[in-house]
Amino acid sequence: MEITTPTEELHQQMDSWKEEVNEVRSEVKMMRERLEQIALSKASRDVMTQVEHFENRLLRQREVADEMHHDIKQCAKKMANTPVTVIHDDRPIDDFQTIQHRMEIFQKLYMSLKEDFNHFMPVEV
């Protein structure tokens, strides 16, 4: 049995995801600032290697957040029947379920990054 969700609820969900993605962007910015403080200190080579590692992960997380935000907006436009031509073979935005699945992966990966970062930071700050 297939259950349909009213378009209004789907748009509310997508708005919620956009807010969540924006929160991730903000948190990533704060994490990068904390890393900069360590980078400017006279930390050991091992710590600096970890700093570089997290800088790379945070940079990629920001890129993915930007992609998700864009694709959520495009999916919302498509659901509103606004004619939009968007082709992303690597980032499908065809339907709500696809965006929902991608958002779940985005959330899991970000939580893993945040957990790793928080384990690193208290020791080094």
Residue 93: its pLDDT value, please?
58
Residue 97: its pLDDT value, please?
83
pLDDT (tens digit per residue) in 24-35: 999 999 999 999
pLDDT (tens digit per residue) in 88-121: 455 555 677 888 899 999 999 999 999 999 999 8
Q: Are 10 and 96 in contact (CB under 8 A)?
A: yes
Spell out the domains of the chain, with CATH numbers in brackets.
13-124 (1.20.1270)
Instruction: Tell me how far apart the terminal alpha carbons of the chain are, to the nearest angstrom.
Output: 54
- What values do phi and psi take at 98, rounded to 5? -65, -45
